Chain A
Amino acid sequence: MTQHRSALFTFVAIASLVVGACTSATSPSPAASAAASTTPSSSAAASPSGVTAGAGGTLTMGLYQAFTSFDPWSESGTGGDSLSMQLHWDQLAAYDEKGTVQMRLADSITSSTDAKTWTIKLKPNLKWSDGSPLTSKDVIFSWKLGANPKQSYNSGLWTNVVGMTDWQKGPDFSKDFTGITAPDDQTVVFQLVNPNSAFESTLLNFRNFILPSAAILAAAPKIYTLDNKGVWALPFWQAPTIGEGPYLWAQTQTGQFMSYKPNPNWRGGALEFSSVILKPESSQAVAAAQLQSGDIDLAVVTLNDIAGLTSAGFQTGTALAPFPIETDFNDSGASRFTDPKVRQAFMYGCDRQGFVNSYLQGKGQAPVSYFFPDWVDKSSINLYAFDQTKAKSLLDEAKFDYSKPVVWMSWNADAKDRQAFLQDCQSKMKSIGVKIQIVNGLDVTNKLGQAGQWDLQTYGGYPINDPDQVSQFTTCSSLGSTPGKDNADFPNGHLYKYGGSNSVNWCNKQWDDLLAQAEKTTDQTQRATLYGQAQKIWVDQVPMMVGYRNVTVYAWNSKLAGIALYGDPGTLDLKIDQWTKAQ
């Protein structure tokens, strides 16, 4: 009898588990339902204005990183957030897949000849999805959130705007700016303290989405008084009621998918898809499988998937990553890397182009500096072709201490390409007598992961659209100020001063002067000349090893067409209004 009771108990326990789970999954309580599945209020779908959703049916895209929020200024900033926000929100302008500026909400962005006044003209008759007009007031409102130091971590971008330093002291963040004004409903003017010919690239920061002032103020009347945590927690960012992007958020099924419907007031006219679905993908291998099963139409995959997917009838394509895989040489006083000859030796000693040709199947790039734009002449610069003899002689000239291993930190050991690159360099440098110890920066068991205890560190670098952006992490003024403590592994103390964006501790006055001059001129020819000179300093001094630019690989259902491939997968849907899908 007792045995039967035990069996019965086990059965009842399991059955309860399943039934309980089924019940919860299928008919949740109102509270649970609100948390697990969010849908907009009915007013959001109101007021169609003659724009008809196209015949492309449903588009399902793989979401390569999780979604967290529609708040453009939250610090999470995942790729999932970018893809979602680009569907729902829109920007004044953005870089297209070729790196050229594409006007979006703005009709024009122009500079005065002294590069101190920047005028933005909005396109005429812009509307929010509910039919209300999108005006310069919305632009100013968006900047009030983005420039508020209590709410946005990127508030420092705007310190060159007239009056901004005072405005950012608060406490009233609702008051108008003096340096950002709206003379009429379609015009916004930025006045700068110092001339900045590259200010447009700052305006195009990918987070500068234009937000609906009336809807947000209605949902959160005290938004100006909140700190970033308070803003972040606003329910509006999980369920925005209106938007101006091509597809509007419609539903979130937590952990499963997010769905979007066409914006009836989309500025670009008719849209192809009746709905867009974003589905999270845990890995590229899973994404490739789901693509083949028909669960998704488009996904980020790997180079190794190309052959199989192509033969299975899928379209594939690659795009160059906007940022390089960068290696910092620690240029602090006690380092062996203060001598530029050592840094040059590593450029010669690591076969960057060979790595691109083999590991990246020739689809990546091995630049020597951050001066990516084509208008900076690269015809006469040293490309640091692989040359072990030269590397060895440079190290000998610099009296390099071969006895100690070089600690090379990788901050993303899961990124197989980076690990392969480091191992390739390790093996090549070993053959000329340099011992390299590769360390996973996130390894909890290895104390070398702590800041400052490295000779070289590798991570995903900066996306550079304008060479002016290089100044953000290489000038003397961006050096850190907090020295590290003494450490047994490094008797001279931590090599790295933290707190600065100049993580290599490289400081060159001539470089700083050239970048400052280039920032002041609007003459593009002169800018190209000045950046050309700065590029020579970089190539000679090698403050960082710009190792290679990876590629992002996409695969999609062959029925899809018109897809512009972006190196940053978080930007892929920027031109989704131009995509089509045959039925």
Chain B
Amino acid sequence: MGRWLLRRLIVTLITFIGFTVIVFTLMRLSPVSPVDLMLFNLRQQGGLSAVDMQRIHDDLAKQLGLDLPIPIQYVIWLKTFITSGSLGYSFNTGRPSIDMVVERMPPTLLLLGSALIIELVIGIPLGILAALRRNRRLDYLISSFGLSVVAIPSFFLGLSAIYIFSVKLAILPASGMFTPSRKSFDAIDWLRHLILPAFVLGLAGVGPILRYVRTSILETLGKEYLVTARAKGLTVTATVVRHAFPNALLPLITYVGLQVGLLMAGAFITESVFSWPGMGTLALNAIQSKDYPVIQAFAVIVGGLVLLGNVFADLAYAIADPRIRLE
């Protein structure tokens, strides 16, 4: 087990380094560097001579370390990361990029965690129901619902939710994490702000989960030991709850591990629609303004979390199912 874990961690580390190389290089392959964007902003203000523009261009490129070849830039970045834990300073705010990303983690984790719970709480029972009513009207209805929530773009779903629940019914706030004018922490206010973004993000994952559970339950229900259990007089409910469901849950562990990355991708849109102050909104702004250090910090942290999530999922799967040989 120990050797397996070590091997798994080494592979994860190599994957992680490869991932940072790709992110680092792709960003810098853009023909317009942050310096160009800054110069466009400055140019728009006017008043700068040709000499000034040239000087600013060179100074900025040098200051930001963008005048060096990309491999050298990467080595410097990696060395700084390993030796000092720094992921650079934001081009936009001058603040350490890691601080900017880390301070946005709690809202994102809250949103992702809530969305995951919503996915599981809605997806698992619906999956079981669909399996038990295989090829009947309820199965088709549930499957159609699952496909619909996957197919509707989150941006549209988010705006529709705002329109229905915030504009028309006026029962839930449309944006933010809490009401700015509140005097102290108010759990109800906070929960009210969480409901819409968590449901919009969570619903997108309900479809895959219910399909997963449905298929898994159907597969398990066909196993001989369950046929025997039924033949011995066990009720359908008892067969499903005690035997089929726990076994069908196993593949879900892997799915939940992968889901962190998928949810994070969804959070980009959901956070932006609901002005949720998480990492997704920060990353989206950073991408638009080519704030390389923040994009890198975001990629390193999220990439690291996703990779670790997968290691934990593998570990959990191995613990849960002794048939999986680790050595």
Contact = CB atoms under 8 A, between A and B. Distances in A.
Contact of B175 (A4, A10, A279, A473): A279
Interface stretch (B10-18, B48-56, B69-77): B48-56
Contacts of A275: 181
Q: Which of A25, A60, A279, A450 has the most CB of B within 10 A?
A: A25
Nearest to B42: A153
Contacts of A18: 109-110, 113-114, 117
A202 B94 contact: no
Interface string B99-128: 100111111111111101100100000000
A305 B280 CA distance: 26
B89 interface: yes
B256 interface: yes
Interface in A405-456: 411, 441-444, 446-447, 449-451
Interface string A25-49: 1101000100110000000000000
B273 A286 contact: yes
A463 B50 contact: no
Contacts of A22: 110
B278 A9 contact: no
Contact of B45 (A207, A259, A286): A207
A313 interface: no
B92 A68 contact: yes
B45 A205 contact: yes
B166 A289 contact: yes
B59 to A, nearest CB: 9
B159 interface: yes
B63 A279 contact: no
Q: Which of A9, A277, A499, A501 has the most CB of B within 10 A?
A: A501
A429 to B, nearest CB: 25
Contacts of A500: 50, 53-54
Interface string B32-69: 10001010111111111111111011001001000000
Contact of B177 (A25, A461, A482): A25
A282 B284 contact: yes
B190 interface: yes
B247 A499 contact: no
Q: Which of A156, A202, A481 has the most CB of B within 10 A?
A: A156
Interface string A452-485: 0000000111110000010011000111111000
A23 B190 CA distance: 13
A129 B30 CA distance: 45
Interface in B151-201: 159, 162-163, 166-167, 170, 173-178, 180-181, 185, 187, 190
Interface in A221-264: 228-229, 232-233, 238, 253-257, 259
B319 interface: yes
B316 A482 contact: no
Given A6-B320, A154-B45, A279 B180 contact: yes
Interface string A266-287: 0000000001010111110110
Contact of A14 (B120, B170, B284): B120
A21 B107 contact: yes
Interface stretch (A72-80, A91-99, A119-127, A353-361): A72-80
Contact of A502 (B50, B114, B116): B50
B19 interface: no
Given A35-B99, A286-B275, A289-B167, A60 B112 contact: no
B49 A286 contact: no
A501 B49 contact: yes
B89 A294 contact: no
Interface in A489-536: 498-502
B53 A17 contact: no
B321 to A, nearest CB: 6
A104 B182 CA distance: 34
A24 interface: yes
Contact of B48 (A4, A207, A501): A501
Contacts of A68: 92-93
User: Interface residues of B: mostly helix, strand, loop or mixed?
Assistant: helix
B190 to A, nearest CB: 7
Contact of A6 (B26, B41, B319): B319
Contacts of B304: none
A282 B45 contact: no
Contact of A4 (B185, B246, B272): B246
A282 B272 contact: yes
B47 A154 contact: yes
B31 A501 contact: no
A323 interface: yes
Contacts of B29: 444
Contacts of B247: 3
B163 A20 contact: no
A9 B41 CA distance: 51
Contacts of A292: 163, 166-167
A282 B93 contact: no
A411 B117 CA distance: 42
Contacts of B47: 154, 156-157, 202, 205, 469, 472
A323 B92 contact: no
Contacts of A501: 43, 48-50, 53
B48 A17 contact: no
Q: Which of B57, B99, B111, B275 has the most CB of A within 10 A?
A: B275
Given A157-B48, A286-B159, 9 more contacts: A24-B105, A76-B91, A156-B51, A228-B63, A238-B93, A253-B180, A293-B162, A411-B40, A473-B43
10 contacts: A2-B322, A7-B246, A17-B116, A233-B94, A254-B104, A293-B170, A442-B32, A443-B31, A451-B36, A463-B46
The 4 closest A-B pairs by CB, nearest first: A255-B277, A6-B320, A3-B246, A24-B106
